[in-house]
Structure 1
């Protein structure tokens, strides 16, 4: 299992409103690459944005390395979400509440 931290902020002062999701995940190699994609299908609750965190393994030496990730959604649909679930393996995820500013 990997260590992961994440948070999400909805900025209502921007037009359109913008949702920012960022955090870091511990990877096994320093040259691992992190990608973030919106899950398809999203899930059963329309108020939860589901993101898939994909770790592409590098081939450098084994060394635990924290890697940052981020996702930005800047359209009117950003206001529809109250939580973000980040799936980082087939059987592991983390859900965070969205903090609202503005």
Structure 2
């Protein structure tokens, strides 16, 4: 189990309106690489954006290191999401509510 924090903010004052998702995840090595992408296919609930977060293991010394991640979504669909689910392993995910700015 990894330690993960995340939040999602929809900025309605920007054109185009943009959804920002960011946070951090604790990794085992300082040289681990983080990758976050929109999941395909999405889930059955169209108001929840599903993201896949992958940790590519490095080969440096073992040391717990928090690694930041972020994703911006400026498509028209960005304003339709009320929650974001980040899947960070086959059996673990975190869901956060989208905060509205503007």
TM range (shorter): over 0.9
Which residue is 2:55 aligned to? 55
Is 1:10 the equivalent of 2:10?
A: yes
Give the aligned length: 102
Q: Which runs of 5+ in 2 are unaligned?
A: none
TM (norm. structure 2) is 0.99
In the TM superposition, structure 1's runs of 4+ consecutive aligned residues that sit over 6 Å from their partners are: none
What is the alpha-carbon root mean square deviation over aligned residues? 0.5
Q: Distance in 1 between matches of 2:47 and 2:64?
A: 34
Which residue is 1:39 aligned to? 39
Is 1:74 the equivalent of 2:77?
A: no
CA displacement 1:9-48 (0-9 Å, x = unmatched): 0000111100000000000000000000111111010000
